[in-house]
Structure 1
């Protein structure tokens, strides 16, 4: 389970699509829908850098 009290770099290096607040954060950050975010994580993995690169290629 994700510790909601501990946020910062380690927490922001990975995209966790199983937590609603994480989905909200990343969809706003990348400007995509939840479905687009989940598809990107499925294709690129949970690394925020990889997900961002994948979304920019689309």
Structure 2
């Protein structure tokens, strides 16, 4: 079944994909951290941006 095209934005914008360089770069800039620190945070708490933000602010 095809994706529901009426559901725009949202959840994907709250997930961090380490497989796309442009996304890694954007999240690094957003959080003000290095790639290594971003990868460490995602590995520690998962790919949800809110969880990563909380981890980085500790």
Q: Quickly name the TM-score band, shorter chain normalised.
A: 0.7 to 0.9
Distance 1:10 1:28 in 2: 20
Matches within 5 A, 1:7-46: 8-46=9-47
Instruction: Give every structure 1 segment of 4 or more consecutive aligned residues whose post-TM-superposition deviation is greater than 3 Å.
Output: none
TM-score for both structures, normalised by structure 1: 0.80
Give the Å deviation of 1:12: 1.5
Aligned counterpart, 1:3: none
Aligned counterpart, 2:50: 49
Aligned residues: 51
Structure 1 residue runs without a partner (length 5+)? 1-6
Q: Alpha carbon RMSD of aligned pairs, Å? A: 1.3
- Please tell me whether Structure 1 or Structure 2 has the larger radius of gyration of its CA atoms: 2
Structure 2 residue runs without a partner (length 5+)? 1-7
TM-score for both structures, normalised by structure 2: 0.80
